[in-house]
Structure 1
């Protein structure tokens, strides 16, 4: 009887290791050089629309390269805030993954390249 319990326990342990959840979909691999066209445009569309994308959005537009460059410092400041702090973005949504925030930071550090 003891052997059956050990076998069942072992089988459960093996099965449970495959039940762990991972948040891989929220992570973005940060490339060597960040450009607006290759990286930022998609991140902005996924993370900042529809609020910052006309015609639906009525907030500061972030739908063009010029607008993204003009607002990069404020964007970085606000996405680094914690939920509940005044000015936190994305409003009414969970905090962006650190890897997504790093795309913004690296884009600025790389010189705000367009292409």
Structure 2
């Protein structure tokens, strides 16, 4: 019985420490069979990254306004969007992409970084 109670207590503690929101956990929207930049990735970048990663933005030194710029920075992008909440290098700053958005970007790389 002690082992059972220990197991239950441990599970409660682990679940209680979850830092993601209900929306992040429950977002299980299916990802397109084949992800392309124009159809799937660009809308995510435009909505979440362009305000900083464009001329005049605080990250204008690393613009992501074109297919080639995003493609050439994909490893850095995936690294930064996948960081845990609270990490100062997590992108987008002050927010988070949904798991589906992260999966789309990751799958785009896996699918060969197709443009159209």
Q: Same fold by TM (over 0.5)?
A: yes
Partner of 1:76: 78
In 1, Cα distance between the equivalents of 2:23 and 2:87?
Answer: 24
| Alpha carbons 1:28, 1:100 under 8 Å: kept | no
Dislocated runs of 4+, deviation >3 Å: 26-29
Q: Larger Cα Rg: Structure 1 or Structure 2?
A: 1
The alpha-carbon distance between structure 1 residues 65 and 28, as it changes in their structure 2 partners (threshold 3 A), is farther
Distance of 1:108 and 1:78 partners within structure 2: 15
Shift of 1:82: 1.1
In structure 2, the residue matched to 1:47 is 48
Shift of 1:84: 1.8
Alignment of 1:56-71 (within 5 A): 56-59=56-59, 60-71=62-73
**How far did 1:27 drift?**
6.9
| Alpha carbons of structure 1 residues 27 and 47: separation in structure 2 relative to 1, 3 Å | farther
* Match of residue 99 from structure 2: 98
Paired residue total: 91
| Superimposed CA distance per residue, residues 48-84 of structure 1 (whole angstroms, 9 cap, x where no aligned partner) | 1201123x42312111001001100000001010122
Point out where structure 2 has 5 or more consecutive residues left out of the alignment.
Answer: 1-21
Partner SS state of residue 84, structure 1: coil
RMSD of Structure 2 on Structure 1 (CA): 2.1
Q: Could you tell me whether the CA contact under 8 Å between 1:79 and 1:89 is conserved in 2?
A: yes
Instruction: Give me the TM-score of the superposition, normalised by structure 2.
Output: 0.69
1:27–1:97: 8 Å Cα contact kept in structure 2?
Answer: no
Counterpart position of 2:4: none
